A = this chain, B = another copy of it.
């Protein structure tokens, strides 16, 4: 077991003095693996936008809400502007066979170009809302803007969306609703630019006091 003596230890003042890029990689990495998703939006004229996000979070299941963290200062705001303008966005899982294309959407394209075209991905439209899905993805979620939470600490914005549509490959959904992400080779992100493959260890049974942890039967 590692003890504190063997660890690197940094306190606040030392973290503030780190070289900018070093700290960016470090702080983006220490929170662990992150979901890899493409956010699809369009503006009022129907111009599509597609952007990679590693910050999709679960907010609630009933009703179904998901959230994303938006960094208004450091990245182009097309996604944010489009969500405000049209009220809709999509979340599309990134799989191993197109993670390079997904990463390419992070390039700084002008609003007049669609990242779908530039990265080589296919927009797919729903009858329920105007935001484009990614046809290549086996998990596509349509959301309606529910609320916007400004983070006072640093100006970041958290967007909460209500799930209004789910399109998912049948093989990914188990009899109890569990989503087998590994069957679609969905990737995980580490840090700012690390892509990873994921394989299941165990599903664990509901934990109870006095009963040792065990795998789900």
A residues whose Cβ falls under 8 Å from a Cβ of B:
1-4, 6-12, 15-16, 18-37, 54-67, 69, 71, 91, 93-94, 96, 99-101, 103-109, 113, 118-119, 122, 124, 128, 135-136, 138-141, 146-147, 149, 151-154, 156, 158, 160, 162-170, 173-174, 176-179, 181-182, 186-188, 190-191, 193-209, 211-213, 216
Whether A151 and B160, one on each chain, are in contact in the complex, defined by CB atoms closer than 8 angstroms, is: yes
Ordered nearest first, which 3 A-B pairs have the shortest CB separation? A29-B179, A32-B35, A25-B177
A136 to B4, CA, bound (A): 10
Partner of A103, one of B12, B153, B207: B207
Whether B24 and A103, one on each chain, are in contact in the complex, defined by CB atoms closer than 8 angstroms, is: no
Whether A204 and B213, one on each chain, are in contact in the complex, defined by CB atoms closer than 8 angstroms, is: no
| Chain B residues whose CB sits within 8 angstroms of the CB of A28 once the complex forms | 58, 61
Report the nearest B residue to A69, measured CB to CB: B57
Partner of A100, one of B1, B57, B213: B213
Partner of A2, one of B4, B141, B169, B209: B169
| Chain B residues whose CB sits within 8 angstroms of the CB of A12 once the complex forms | 162-165
| Chain B residues whose CB sits within 8 angstroms of the CB of A188 once the complex forms | 32-33, 188, 198
Whether B196 and A199, one on each chain, are in contact in the complex, defined by CB atoms closer than 8 angstroms, is: yes
Partner of A58, one of B55, B162, B167: B55
Q: How far is the CB of A207 from chain B (nearest CB, A)?
A: 4
Whether B61 and A10, one on each chain, are in contact in the complex, defined by CB atoms closer than 8 angstroms, is: no
Assuming A32-B34, A99-B202, what are 20 further A-B pairs, CB within 8 angstroms?
Answer: A2-B138, A9-B165, A23-B62, A25-B178, A27-B61, A27-B163, A31-B37, A31-B57, A32-B139, A59-B69, A107-B207, A108-B208, A118-B209, A147-B152, A149-B151, A179-B190, A187-B201, A190-B198, A195-B201, A197-B201
